[in-house]
Structure 1
Amino acid sequence: MLKETLLIELGTEELPPKSLKKLAITFYQQIQQQLDESGLVYGDIKWFATPRRLAVKVDKLLGKQQDKEIEKRGPATNVAFDADGNPSKAAMGWAKSNGITIEQAERLTTDKGEWLLHKALQPGKTIHELLPKMVSNALSKLPIPKPMRWGSGRTQFIRPVHTLTLLYGNEIIAANILNVEASNVVTGHRFHHEGLIKLETADSYERVLNEAYVQVDYQARQKLIVGEIKKAAQQLQGHALIDNELLEEVTSLVEWPVVLIGSFDKAFLEVPAEPLIYSMKDHQKYFPVSDKKGNLLNQFIFVTNIESKAPEQVISGNERVIRPRLADAEFFYKTDKKYALESRLKSLESVLFQKQLGTVKAKSERIASISKHVAGLLNENQEQAYRAGLLSKTDLMTDMVQEFPQVQGTMGKYYAEHDGEDSEVAQALEDQYRPRFSGDVLPQANIGCAVAVADKIDTLVGIFGINQPPKGDKDPFALRRAAIGLIRIIIEKELDLDIADLVSKSIELYGDKLSNDNTKEQVLNFVLGRYKSHYQEQSISIDVIQAVLDNAPTEPLDFDKRIRAVTHFKTLPAAEALAAANKRVGNILAKFDGVLADSFDINLVEDSAESDLANVYSRLSEKLLPMMKTKNYQDALTALAEIKQPIDLFFDKVMVMADDEKVKINRLTLLNQIRNSFLAIADISVLQS
């Protein structure tokens, strides 16, 4: 059967660059899914995307579905025929609907009875029949938040559509989609190639477009851009700051990438690097360059969509455009330095943190108090922590941060240094927002940690305190990120902090502003809920996480020690049997509704296996005391693993639910003590083999 290459391309006006890759991949996935569901056999399938097109190419596609035999069951024979063997109306109607006579019907016999049966061969549909609906379905499922209409028609899509290319080998597949007739033509580069291009075959797609100055392969285009940027940076003896998000956007803006180098006045380098970098990246889509020491150079790399005969003119134009942007940053920096951060505290009274929770000034004061409390717990300078917390939001009132919100905190550090603040205080102003995203760096020093922890606790308690927790994917105050950041800081910086204590302190500072009586419980449960994602990213199995979660520790560092201990315990030979034994003990105790004894009575022992277990546990209990006191959970669980053999023997030899009530309670008391020793660390009964 014929196998050919299938090409689907939708030619449009410039698509949104930040959405292009997602649109292209979704389109490709939808086409692939429908090909699979239709049973069509094919080889490789690949997606393409440029600013003016979405495309999918399928190699070695079988042009027709396989024919398949289908069975159509009719009425039961006792209903299909009367006593004289004459067919009923139901049987006649069924036969007619299948295009056969009653005599041609087969019989299907099962242990439940006999039915009329017709076996028919259903011919497979061709790609010509299937594709138009497939493409329409795929386009209808693209993530388009705001479709637009154009011209006088009512057709809607993310951008106006000009061409629809549906080619199977060299055959055009007839279709009208989005009010455009399918053809074998595509467009080349907007400036380098005028007019439409006719494709002879689907296989020629990439080659023909390349000749028309279109690098249609998104991933190849991106690889080319990265390679050329790195070459340009080497030419400058520097390092290009290639941000993945910017790289995606630039790749989505060009069809024929040409990399060039521009420069700006060295005097602008007196401004902190961060706002200059954001100005180049966010406003102009340029790639900044640093030297080997990480210092910003007065050169930048940019990608243009034109292969100009006079590249110096293109460079000059881009240099002209960037200059006023950098001049703005320079002006803001010089103006901001005229006013000390402390002088901006009063202006924070004009900015709301949240309507029910008050101003940013009030938030700063709460952060200062919590920061001081945390610093005391960490044996750090409490006055420095309080000062950093008080000044933490003042840079929000500077011109620079209002123009470049991304540099909040960072500019606070620079301005604090200029004001002569202590270096720990200045660094804490930048560190308060860390970590900003998954994998981001943490605060450098403990004063910064104190302010970062205080800020996150204040936000969590405040928003839960007014009954506005995250719902679904809506999390306007980024509480999930705050909770995970809190966990990371405390664990990775090894800070001996209890979140329950911090939440209580924060609730006290809010006073009567909070309306939720269950704030503390809900915040603690919310933070506990973040541990799953935190540890799953580290490939910790879910049963290990659940074993510790069941204890609900409120100290993240303590939680982490338990996780490491249970992870190690699970590798021990005794782990599986002890997990099962703990589960068994838990089930037995759950069914017992009496009262256990305060301690195990050796005088009630009736079996040597019972006394052996009691003796081993007694010896282990003495070893466990110092381990538990120092939170050495790993050694404690390793020690408890020694109980495997005597507890196995106990269950083999001893009837726990003895007839003698005192003996039964004594045995249950021993098992409960052993189980509680495990539970003091984690519920190992939930561990899976």
Structure 2
Amino acid sequence: MTTQNLLVELFVEELPPKALKKLGDAFASVLFDQLKAQGLAGADSAVTAFASPRRLAAHVTAVAERAADKAVSQKLMPVSVGLDASGQATPALLKRLAGLGADASAVAGLKRAPDGKAEALFYDSVVPGAELAVGLQKALDEALAKLPIPKVMTYQLETDCELPGWSSVQFVRPAHGLVALHGANVVPVKALGLTAGNSTHGHRFEAAVDPVQLADADSYAATLLRDGAVIASFAERKAEIARQLAAAAAKVGGGCRPIEDDALLDEVTALVERPNVLICAFEKQFLDVPQECLILTMKANQKYFPLVDTQGKLTNKFLVVSNISPDDASAVIGGNERVVRPRLADAKFFFDQDRKKPLVDRVAGLDKVVYHNKLGSQGLRMERVLSIAGAIGRKIGDDVLAESARTAAKLAKADLLTDMVGEFPELQGIMGGYYARHDGLGEDIAFAIEDHYKPRFAGDELPRNMTGVVVALADKLETLTGMFHIENFPTGDKDPFALRRHALGVVRLLAERSMPIGLDEALDEALKVLASDSPQKAWAARVAASGAGMVVYSLEQVKPATKEKLTDFIYDRLAGSLREQGYSAQEVDAVLALRPQRLADVGQRLQAVRAFAALPEAPALAAANKRIGNILKKSEAEVAVAVNASALVEPAEQALFAAMQATVPAANAQFDAGDYTASLQALAALRAPVDAFFDGVMVNADDPALKANRLGLLKTLHEAMNRVADLSRLAA
């Protein structure tokens, strides 16, 4: 079977840049999968995706003109239904065969084969392989239908009928051309009102010819580059932009480098077809504005790449990725410099205006900002965060930490009311830190305000000081307890208040900062504040003093189930995070089954469990542990952790008790010292006496006293073995 390479391109108006890479990959992968499913592409075929602002394309190697015929064996019906007592075909069988395009002459060739308890009739036939034109049409239709289009637009096509009229088409952008080449031959497929040909269009302004004629499928990228001035490959265009950015930064000198932002690089790659990086500059006076503001406005609004020096400090130079390459680029450079100037001037104006009003004077304004209709305003929420931060600060530190945490918590949300954050919400917290320094509040408070949203995403850094850690923890706990109290749980992909992220933030703050407070204790402090009327009273007094009208928020009584559900939610988030870090489900389940309170210990416990599981004694001890747990659960009476040594009558139970006396104290001492690995490994010595105990001792003895003593022995052993983790979860 001869094969040739295939090229399919859809030429459209400018595609949404943030979705381009995903659209290009999806178009190519679905087209390829459909061709393989129909037998037109084989195991040795490969696909290459192309995506530029005005095209989606796919190049597939080794595509057949016609798929190979396929032998198919179809089950018809049970023999008892298809044939009568004399072996003749029944009407039901003849009807079934007719539906498959066969007649009564096919009955003699039917096969009999077992099908469960009965015998069935099977019809063997050969299904002709799909023709490329038909198979590609199906693959193209499927590829277009499955595109992850962010927003569909409707446009009209002029109809081909004699009477004038329009037909509506829905697609991500209006399509103007379709190419389908199998080798050098056009495949007659249609899509979106277009018929495939062998020509496309290049760069809007710099193409050497228009239209661009494609000789064959393999010359697509080279022809577009030569005649159309377009780098069709998204990956190649991205690499070229990165190369030019690095070269331009080196030309500026001084160790300058462009801001690293892969999302911005992807977006710019999706905006240009023939990149040309140019060096631009702005007035140095704007560098007095916090660099986060300048960087954000240049990246978000203009898609520029700011340059920073070796210390990471912003310079007054920036790089522009142009889509044209004129001989004299001065007009392009000047135009971009003129465009960015008003943006930077706005940022400077906002910064200057915001500093005229201290953060503390903005706090009252939070009372007018609704946080949630069941939880009150941002002002009331601030009072709850403030109370939680003070309580946690006292628990893990002293009154000084508590007071600094309360101060930072009071001011943490005030920058939401500044002009700068109003224009750039991404700068909340960051601007609060700058304004706190301007107000003379010191670095400790400024860092805490700036960092209290951290960690904002997986891998984000944690707050830089303990005040920031306390406020960040309080802020996340307030959100979690409040939302769980009103039963606003995340569902599926919907998590508008980012509760999953907040839960992982709580975990990271407690674990990575080794905070001397357990999860249960931290939740209790937050729930205590939620149930208290103190924040409400403080908020009401402030509102009354301001003379503003007051909306009273009345929270229902906090239910005990709130804490239980929230605890489960946090441990579920922790379990998922640990599995992503490479720990097995068994290891994670064993450790988290005990609900460890000091989350900083979880990593050590997991390492200890992994080391224990590698021991030859581990499977037997895990199985025994599971057996002990089941025995204790079935006990009708409460089992005490107590053993009467003189009542141990069987040699096996005496030997087990003696082994426990020799082993458990050392294991407990190692556990108390934090050496969980040594603690678990010390218990490995109990394998032989535990096995002997179950082989030679009847736990449920007829004598109640003897039974109670043996259950007490097992309960003592069970608690000793399960201090680091629930070892029964390791049992197969």
Counterpart for residue 133 of structure 1: 138
Structure 2 residue 494 is matched with structure 1 residue 474: yes
* 1:159 paired to 2:161: no
Supply the distance in 2 between the matched residues of 1:85 and 1:414 (Cα, whole angstroms): 93
Distance in structure 2 (CA, Å) of the matches to 1:428 and 1:465? 27
Residues 265, 298 of structure 1: 8 Å contact kept: yes
Q: How far apart are residue 421 of structure 1 and its match?
A: 0.5
The amino acid across from 1:326 in the alignment is L
Return the offset for 1:167.
Answer: 1.4
Aligned with residue 55 of structure 1, among 57, 62, 73: 57
Q: Distance in 1 between matches of 2:610 and 2:252?
A: 49
Contact 2:113 2:121 in 1 (8 A): no
Distance, in Å, in 2 between the alignment partners of 1:85 and 1:282 is: 79
Question: Partner of 2:17: helix, strand, or coil?
Answer: coil
Partner of 2:457: 437
What is the alpha-carbon distance in structure 2 between the residues aligned to residue 103 and residue 29 of structure 1?
A: 41
**Cα gap change, 1:78/1:541 in structure 2, threshold over 3 Å: closer, same or farther?**
closer
Cα distance between partner residues in 2 of 1:553 and 1:76 = 60
In 2, Cα distance between equivalents of 1:95 and 1:295: 79
Amino acid at match of 1:188: G
The 1:495–1:72 alpha-carbon spacing in structure 2 relative to 1, beyond 3 Å, is closer
Q: 1:526-545 maps to which residues of 2 (within 5 A)?
A: 526-545=569-588
Corresponding letter in the other structure for 2:653: E
Matched AA of 2:109:
E
Aligned-residue offset at 1:100: 4.5
- Deviations 1:119-159, CA, capped at 9 Å, x for gaps: 32222112222110111111111122421111332110010
1:428 counterpart residue number = 448
Structure 1 residue 631, shift from structure 2 partner: 4.7
Q: Residue 688 and residue 291 in structure 1: after superposition, are their counterparts in 2 closer, same or farther (change >3 A)?
A: farther
**Contact 2:89–2:107 at 8 Å: present in 1 too?**
no
Determine helix, strand or coil for the equivalent of 1:483.
Answer: helix
Sort the Cα spacing of 1:145 and 1:619 in 2 relative to 1 into closer, same or farther, 3 A.
same
Letter in 1 for 2:408: A
1:513 aligns with 2:555: yes
Inter-partner Cα distance in structure 1 for 2:260 and 2:607? 36
Mean CA deviation greater in 89-98 or 523-532: 89-98
Measured in 1, the distance between the counterparts of 2:651 and 2:339 equals 90
Give, in whole Å, the separation in 1 of the partners of 2:417 and 2:581: 39
Mean alpha-carbon deviation: is it higher for 443-452 or for 559-568? 559-568
Check the 8 A contact 2:668/2:720 in 1, yes or no. Answer: no
Residues 1:105 and 2:105 aligned together: no
TM superposition shift of 1:229? 0.7
Encode CA deviations 1:26-79: one digit per residue, 9 max, x unaligned. Answer: 222222322332233142111110111111111112332221222345566666
How many angstroms apart in 1 are the aligned matches of 2:87 and 2:682? 82
Query: 1:522 is aligned with what amino acid?
Result: K
1:371 aligns with 2:386: no
Alignment CA distance shift 1:94-1:665 (3 Å) = same
Q: Which residue of 1 aligns with 2:262?
A: 244
Q: Distance in 2 between the 1:626 and 1:95 partners?
A: 79
Aligned to 2:595: 552
Q: Is 1:308–2:322 an aligned residue pair? A: no
Q: CA offsets, 1:586-607, max 9 Å, x none?
A: 2333444455455223333343
Query: 2: distance between equivalents of 1:87 and 1:340?
Result: 95
Amino acid at match of 2:18: K
Aligned-partner Cα distance in 2 for 1:87–1:572: 67
User: Secondary structure at 2:167's aligned position in 1?
Assistant: coil
Query: Please, which moves more after superposition, 88-97 or 358-367?
Result: 88-97
Contact 1:466 1:516 in 2 (8 A): no
Give the letter aligned to residue 141 of structure 1.
K
After superposition, the C-alpha distances for 1:205-230 in whole angstroms (9 at most, x for unaligned) are 11111111111111111111111111
Aligned residue number for residue 197 of structure 1: 212
C-alpha deviations, 1:433-453, integer Å up to 9, x for none?
Answer: 111111111101101101111
Note if contact 2:371-2:378 (Cα within 8 Å) is conserved in structure 1.
yes
| Amino acid aligned to 1:201 | D
Matched letter for residue 142 of structure 1: L
| Separation in 2, partners of 1:369, 1:89 | 83
Aligned pairs for 1:223-238 within 5 A = 223-237=239-253, 238=256
Correspondence list, 1:461-500, <5 A: 461-500=481-520
The 3-state SS of whatever aligns with 2:57 is: strand
Give TM-score scaled by structure 2 length: 0.89
> Residues 398 and 88 of structure 1: is their aligned pair in 2 closer, same or farther, counting only changes over 3 Å?
closer
Query: How far apart, CA to CA, are the structure 2 residues paired with 1:507 and 1:90?
Result: 71
Is 2:471 the partner of 1:451?
yes
Task: Give the letter for the 1:102 counterpart.
Answer: S
2:652 to 609, 627, 637: 609
For the residues of structure 2 that align with 1:184 and 1:682, how far apart are their CA atoms? 67
Q: Percent identity?
A: 39
Retained in 2: the 8 A contact 1:261–1:299? Answer: yes
2:183 aligned partner: 169
Which residue number in structure 2 is paired with residue 146 of structure 1?
151
2-structure distance, mates of 1:148, 1:66: 39
Q: Distance in 2 between matches of 1:599 and 1:473?
A: 50
Q: What CA RMSD, in Å, does the superposition of the two structures yield over aligned residues? A: 2.3
Compared with structure 1, are the counterparts of its residues 117 and 544 closer, same or farther at alpha carbon in structure 2 (3 Å cutoff)? Answer: closer
Matched positions, count: 689
Q: Which residue of 2 aligns with 1:208?
A: 223
**Match for 2:57: what amino acid?**
A
8 Å CA contact 1:8–1:165 kept in 2: the answer is yes
What letter is aligned with 1:249?
E
Q: Residue 2 of structure 1 corresponds to which residue in structure 2?
A: 2
Given that 1:12 and 1:53 are in contact with CA atoms closer than 8 Å, whether structure 2 keeps it comes out as: yes
For the 8 Å contact 1:464–1:516, the answer to whether it is kept is no
Does 1:415 pair with 2:435?
A: yes
Question: How much does 1:652 deviate?
Answer: 3.7
Equivalent-residue separation in structure 1 for 2:363 and 2:78 (angstroms):
87
Instruction: Decide which of 120, 123, 127 is 1:122's aligned counterpart.
Output: 127
Distance 1:133 1:75, change over 3 A: closer
Q: Is the 8 A contact 1:107 1:114 kept in 2?
A: no
Matches within 5 A, 1:557-596: 557-594=600-637, 596=639
Partners of 2:623 and 2:731 within 8 A in 1 = no
CA deviation digits over 1:226-251, x for unaligned, max 9?
A: 11111111222312112111111011
CA contact (8 A) 2:75 2:122 kept: yes
Tell me which residue corresponds to 1:620. 663
Gap regions ≥5 residues in structure 1: none
Give secondary structure in 2 for the equivalent of 1:513: coil
Structure 2 unaligned residues grouped into runs of 5+: 157-165, 533-553
TM-score (norm 1): 0.95
Question: For structure 1, which segment, 164-173 or 571-580, has the greater mean C-alpha deviation from structure 2 after superposition?
Answer: 571-580
Question: In 1, distance between residues paired with 2:11 and 2:566?
Answer: 51
Q: Secondary structure at the match of 1:183?
A: coil
Question: Contact (CA 8 Å) 1:7, 1:168: kept in 2 or not?
Answer: yes
Q: 2:68 maps to which residue?
A: 66
Query: What's the secondary structure of 1:370's corresponding residue?
Result: helix
Deviation at 1:498, TM superposition (A): 2.3
Q: Does structure 1 residue 278 correspond to structure 2 residue 296?
A: yes
- 1:687 — aligned with what? 730
Q: Deviations over 1:500-533 (max 9, x none)?
A: 2232322332335245513222222221111022
Q: Which deviates more from structure 2 when the two are superposed, residues 645-654 or residues 97-106?
A: 97-106
The answer to whether the aligner puts 1:648 opposite 2:664 as a matched pair is no
In the TM superposition, residue 384 of structure 1 has moved relative to its aligned partner by 1.3
Aligned partners of 1:106 and 1:117 also within 8 Å: no
* Structure 1 residue 638: Cα displacement: 2.4
